[in-house]
Structure 1
Amino acid sequence: MAQGSTREKTGRTRAPAGATADEDFITAGGHPTHVHDFHQPLYAPLGRISVSTPGSDHELSPSTALWIPAGTPHSARFHPDSLVLAEPFDADVHELPYAEPTAVRVDESRRRLLPARTRDAGAGADDASAFAAPTGIPSAALPLPRPTSATALTVAGALLRSPEDQRTATEWAESLHTSSTSLRRAFRNETGLAFSEWRTRVRLNRSLDLLDRGHQVGTAARVGFVSTNGYIMAFRRHFGCTPGAWIKGRPGQGNPRPNRLS
């Protein structure tokens, strides 16, 4: 299903206080906060999904899926022209290796499994091999705590959608009728990161998706770095290797992923 659609098998959905319980609330654009009593992996073989869980936001793409443990409040926004796949797994039968929502890498061999599972009407919802397969490889994405105040959250959401946005903290503050000092303080106090570092992590995380799909030329500009050298230096500082080495070491290339140094 395209244009931000999602497929879910039968399961019980309930809403936390103040949230909607009716599954008809799922639209082409996403759905508000709700809770499942089953574990669920979310995956976007096409396009992107923005998922909000308590304390964090997650950007999902063809190379990154998200396991949502049963009982976790979450909402989602489907970007235009995205294909969203979701499958339930009985929490009484399966125990996830994660206590919190966890992003996982999806390599080529596993990328075909969840779509194949959704096409197979005979596949059991508790198929252990299918349950384990999408787990893939732990995500290398840098942690991105979500700010809580309205202004900082607005800026964070915009940068997650468009990391190439070049507006400075001062320019963001002016557009939102606040001071740059207040905006910077909000990021520092609410996420533990300076505004510039938070934005750099957004850009680096988005670049991981491009690199995992084989893109290297032009990646720096596409994610908002003003120079290739600046991008390479930031990448090396956070991941311990160059983008080129990352591509050579990605799953399916026959080489181990270089170790992260930070």
Structure 2
Amino acid sequence: MSPRRHSVTVTEPVGTDPFSCEEYGYGLGRVEGILVLKYRSAAVLEFGESRQDFLHQLYWSPDGMLSTSYGARTQFVGHREAFWAHRAVTHEVRAADRQTVYRICLRETPQVLTGLRAGAVSMAPEAARLIETIARPSCGEAEAFAARARIMAGLGPATSDFVGHHANGTGFALTVARALSHDPGDEAGLAEWAERLHVSVKTLQRDFEREFGMPYSKVRTKLRLSTSRVLLETRPVAEVAHRVGYSSPSAFITAFTREYGCTPGRYAERGYDGEG
């Protein structure tokens, strides 16, 4: 059976921007089948309002944060993780503008995720690469099935899996970065994180330099600003500033403008034509 694949551009209701959706399906209708939907939009991408799907869903973005909701819990997910939702579980996912999002639909639950209804899961670098590989017209079905098995093997629900998939050093910096990506408003400083992890401040700072090539403070700022882009479409600047951990809207505006070349207000109004 040849893979089902096509690319379409769908125009949303008046007042919103068009988005593209490329669809790649392999073995559809079979337990081992996989459907990959690749989305990109000039505006914010929203995946349903309280959607309940009949297939298991895995959402991943290689170039930005995802805002995810499950029950009363809101969580942010970075590019080293994906968001898993068991079929028929109510959930919502949002992404910022000009952001690529992959939605992988499965009939089978990866063994390591058995019992997980919804939440952030670690994804090994190889699994991320293979998702991009099978979302291409040149990918054959045999290659896609082999990739599917390795993608599922590259998922993990626990912090230990996350560190194991990604750490080059001690894993302390990645543990902190994962916690911050889920809750960028956490106000803990480097010393407090070091105390929580029972390591010295010097050890933790050294691990940040090794893992990210920059200090803790810069990693935290980048995570906060990336997360703010997902929120600005629907929430006022002052609320977003507080949500991502800034003590005042002015401090947030200064940091955002320095990073993206425009104010948060202008960004939210879609009056900005830069690459941001």
Q: TM-score, normalised by structure 1?
A: 0.50
* 1:66 matches 2:87: no
* Equivalence for 1:183: 204
Q: Secondary structure at the match of 1:79?
A: strand
Do the aligned residues in 2 keep the contact of 1:170 with 1:180 (CA within 8 Å)? yes
* Equivalence for 1:202: 223
Do the aligned residues in 1 keep the contact of 2:78 with 2:181 (CA within 8 Å)? no
Over 3 Å counting, the alpha-carbon distance change for 1:66 and 1:240 in structure 2 is same
Do the aligned residues in 2 keep the contact of 1:155 with 1:172 (CA within 8 Å)? yes
Do the aligned residues in 2 keep the contact of 1:39 with 1:67 (CA within 8 Å)? yes
User: Among residues 187, 194, 207, which one is paired with 1:173 in the alignment?
Assistant: 194
* 1:162 matches 2:183: yes
Q: Deviations over 1:227-246 (max 9, x none)?
A: 21111110000000111111
* Equivalence for 1:79: 119
Q: Deviations over 1:202-224 (max 9, x none)?
A: 11111111112243232111110
User: Among residues 243, 256, 259, which one is paired with 2:274 in the alignment?
Assistant: 259
Distance in 2, Cα, partners of 1:227 & 1:92: 42
* Equivalence for 1:83: none
Equivalent residues in 2 for 1:107-122, closer than 5 Å: none
Identity rate of aligned residues, in percent? Answer: 27
* Equivalence for 2:253: 232
Distance in 2, Cα, partners of 1:89 & 1:180: 38
Deviates more, 1:205-214 or 1:42-51: 42-51
Question: 2:196 is matched by which residue type in structure 1?
Answer: S
Unaligned runs of 5+ in 1: 1-8, 14-21, 24-35, 81-87, 97-145, 250-254
After superposition, the CA RMSD in angstroms is: 4.3
- Cα distance, 1:94 vs structure 2: 2.3
* Equivalence for 1:128: none
Do the aligned residues in 2 keep the contact of 1:37 with 1:91 (CA within 8 Å)? no
Q: Secondary structure at the match of 1:67?
A: strand
Q: Secondary structure at the match of 2:188?
A: coil
Over 3 Å counting, the alpha-carbon distance change for 1:210 and 1:89 in structure 2 is closer
Q: Secondary structure at the match of 2:184?
A: coil
More strand by share: 2
Do the aligned residues in 2 keep the contact of 1:152 with 1:183 (CA within 8 Å)? yes
* Equivalence for 1:94: 137
Distance in 1, Cα, partners of 2:252 & 2:200: 28
* 1:222 matches 2:243: yes
Distance in 1, Cα, partners of 2:132 & 2:204: 41
Question: 2:119 is matched by which residue type in structure 1?
Answer: H
Question: 2:95 is matched by which residue type in structure 1?
Answer: S
Unaligned runs of 5+ in 2: 1-23, 40-45, 50-66, 69-74, 84-91, 105-109, 121-130, 140-165
Distance in 2, Cα, partners of 1:89 & 1:156: 24
